[in-house]
Amino acid sequence: MSTFIHPLSDVQSKNIGDNTRIWQFVVVLPDAKIGKDCNICSHCFIENNAVIGDRCTVKCNVQIWDGITLEDDVFVGANVTFCNDRHPKSHNKDFKLEPVLVKKGASIGANATILPGVTIGENAMVAAGSVVTKDVEANMTYIKK
């Protein structure tokens, strides 16, 4: 099997691993890094300073912004929202990027919101619809609505 990039996607990055599948209406900016054996579903956006490890699944309608890192074997459900700025404003001259780290094997359920500066531990599970405001420990199930 080889890497598949749907003709209706806009993949500008050359940093795409072998056997990764990128579906229609996905935008990947030039400096983004996506590992091997990943599945990036339709209508996703991956910014320049985003890193996605090997064997990750990113379901539909997810944006992976600058400073977001998904380690290997991470699952991100549909419509998950990542945030990298605690005080967002248009044309904010005081913008301070706060990275998010999702560690190996973690899973994030659909419609969860991950706030800036959070680390989700190895093999942790974030329940669908949760709002993650603080670090999630390894192997923990996090439910907060």
3-state secondary structure of 78: coil
- Strand order in 4-5's β-sheet? 4-5, 21-22, 39-40, 57-58, 75-76, 107-108, 125-126, 141-142
* Active site (annotated) includes residue 91: no
Select which of 6, 43, 87, 91 is catalytic: 87
For residues 69 and 6, give the distance between their C-alpha atoms in angstroms, rounded to a whole number. 23
Contact assessment for residue 140 and residue 89, using Cβ atoms and an 8 Å cutoff: no
Q: Among all residues, which ones are annotated catalytic?
A: 87
